[in-house]
Structure 1
Amino acid sequence: MTSAFHFDSLVWDWPIAIYLFLIGISAGLVTLSILLRRYHPQEGTSHSRIMRTTLFIAPSSVMLGLVILIFHLTRPWTFWKLMFHYSFTSVMSMGVMLFQVYMLVLVVWLALIFRDEVAALQQRWLPKLTLIPNLLARLLPFMRPIETLMMVLAVLLGAYTGFLLSALKSYPMLNNPLLPALFLFSGVSSGIAVALLAFVFGPKGEQHSKELHFLHRLETPVVWLEIFLLAAFFIGLWLGDDGKLRALSAALGGGFWAWWFWLGVVGVGLCLPLLLKAVGWGKAQLHILLISGSSLCGVLLLRYFILYAGQMTVA
């Protein structure tokens, strides 16, 4: 049976799109948090709404994405072999290595930021275990280089989701050098949307207003950068060889995935948030909920579009 979601050349299906979406949220949130701490250090503390959102969402979205990926494998019980047997010629193996380093540094970085909360939990539940507070105290002078390393890892993880698809060299649309950059900045866009949603509910305050201002300043430029990268992505296909031209025609020349792109990715994910902000929306709770929800929906639909439409044409 051949349909938009089932065709002969399909290798990776919808769970991979969810996995790419979740990884992008984690990388985007961490990137935002580090930018907040670098440019607004007074706001980037353990009391920050953005930092607390990153504390809960960044690690859990990665773990959920990996669980989805593991159970999507043909033999999920053999996944542990990838955790210890690395191949520098395999994009998947390099990705597993990146995930391990990313999670390790992420836990250390978050523990240093929330060290007072960690110490309080340790005193309450494990009062005799002084190893963790002592270790954090020793690592605290190295906070700046650890944060720089965390930023590099977050950018690499966000771009990796694009490299993973571009490694499918037999698919002209996916074998595109702009794909990692497109996925990186769409991941940052999803991180902004998740962070904004955290402000919809909860108490207001002067610090939170400054954080909201920081997010709103980034929101529109990131969307425009996404639009530029999308345009460059398709122009590259249009100026490419016969395989890329066929891929472009299959993706945007009509049919289910063309409608998916124009109505979902462009309409809901890009134009609607920009339009609502242009007419003065974006500060009330309902406005933030609508704009952020549209942005998140657009990022998810983009992952689906690139994954499925990219596999319709084989070189």
Structure 2
Amino acid sequence: MPNMYYFGQDQWNWIIAVYLFLGGMGAMVMAIATWIHRYRAFGQDNTRLMVWGNFAGFAMLALGSAMLFYHLLDHLAVWRVFIGVFYKPDAWIAWGTWSIVLGMIWGVVYAIGHMETPGFLSWCRLWRFAKWFGQKYAAPLAWGTIFMSVFTAVYTGMLLMSYPAVDLWHNTGIPVLFTVSAISTALAFMLILQKLFVRDGNTALSHSFEKWDTWMIGIELLVVMALGFYLAYNAHENARVSYEILWNNPWWVYGFIGLGLIAPFVLNLMALRKWIPETAAVVLSSATLVLLGGYLLRHFILLAGVYELPYTQFFATH
């Protein structure tokens, strides 16, 4: 058995972490916004919140995709990603790219079909066509947006899982963790939209967002703990090196787990149980901490991705 050398990857840096964060959260924001509108959650119209959510989700997906595009060494190679589903159907990044593009388009067209046309766009034929299309095909657009958005959120974790050289990434806990985190951050962002911009007075809906976000944070905590045990007691030294990187880093322990998970979980639970007033300040503070935790999760999961090579092979390639 040759001596092994363990080294952290530095290609997937904070730019990719932002892409994964905005991609998962933005997609689930569109899914949740479309769902609550289509099925009139708590008997209210929710159109304004849906429009805000779908356009905000579109912006997050566009920004995240732009950062990924910027990160590419060969920018023209992006076209290979689009056609990758035809010659390499097991490429998650190809399927994920299509789900992002289609979800963005369908979600925005659905939103346009249910909003008033701004005066300065009344002359635009493309806008008028999108409005007509969004009204006529509202049901399939809604289901398409929800499906593609959920697929995108799952894909962000499956993308990492497809790298067998990194034990931290190549396990089923990562897509579960990223999907739960995407739902949690999306619910938190919807609360921020509702409290700061929409102000529709739908307290039943915001209360439901808080309740479901509390459940998601609790599940996320359990998955993180399970991931820690998986890494600490793994037969591969690769996994144990990743464990040391994560659990010896105060930003992971106190930043992500402490501020990003435990603090908003406690705040939400205390507000839901009426132990503290359910004020806008409490809701917004909790939601902001959830967003912080969502980014830190992806940042440190990428940071702790460790490869292993025999000493001879490592020094031959470096």
**TM-score scaled to structure 1, two decimals?**
0.82
Give the C-alpha shift of residue 242 in structure 1: 2.0
Q: Which residue of 2 aligns with 1:111?
A: 112
1:266–1:301 CA distance, 2 compared to 1 (3 A):
same
Give the C-alpha shift of residue 152 in structure 1: 2.0
Deviations, residues 247-299 of structure 1 (Å, cap 9, x unaligned): 45433452xxx312111111101111122234445732222221111111011
The correspondence of residues 1-315 of structure 1 with structure 2, limited to 5 A, is 9-37=9-37, 38=39, 40=41, 42-47=43-48, 49=49, 51-86=50-85, 87-112=88-113, 114=114, 116-118=115-117, 124-126=122-124, 131-140=129-138, 143=139, 145-202=140-197, 204-206=199-201, 208-243=202-237, 245-252=239-246, 254=248, 258-279=249-270, 280-281=275-276, 283-309=278-304, 311-314=305-308
Gaps of 5+ in 2: 1-6, 310-318
Q: Secondary structure at the match of 1:33?
A: helix
Residues 192, 284 of structure 2: 8 Å contact kept: yes
What is the aligned length? 296
Q: Secondary structure at the match of 2:163?
A: coil
Q: Which residue of 1 aligns with 2:315?
A: none
Give the C-alpha shift of residue 85 in structure 1: 4.9
Deviations, residues 208-248 of structure 1 (Å, cap 9, x unaligned): 32321221221211111111221222233345322454245
Distance in 2, matches of 1:103 and 1:45, equals 20
Distance in 1, matches of 2:125 and 2:69, equals 37
Q: Which amino acid aligns with 2:252?
A: F
**TM-score scaled to structure 2, two decimals?**
0.82
Q: Secondary structure at the match of 1:276?
A: helix
Q: Secondary structure at the match of 2:43?
A: coil
Gaps of 5+ in 1: 1-6
Q: Which amino acid aligns with 1:164?
A: L
Distance in 2, matches of 1:27 and 1:269, equals 20
Q: Secondary structure at the match of 1:79?
A: helix
1:43–1:68 CA distance, 2 compared to 1 (3 A):
same
Task: Indicate the larger mover: 178-187 or 31-40.
Answer: 31-40
Residues 53, 195 of structure 1: 8 Å contact kept: no
Distance in 2, matches of 1:71 and 1:128, equals 29
Residues 28, 154 of structure 1: 8 Å contact kept: yes
Distance in 2, matches of 1:129 and 1:272, equals 44
1:29–1:127 CA distance, 2 compared to 1 (3 A):
closer
Distance in 2, matches of 1:297 and 1:147, equals 29
Distance in 1, matches of 2:171 and 2:156, equals 13
Q: Which amino acid aligns with 2:166?
A: Y
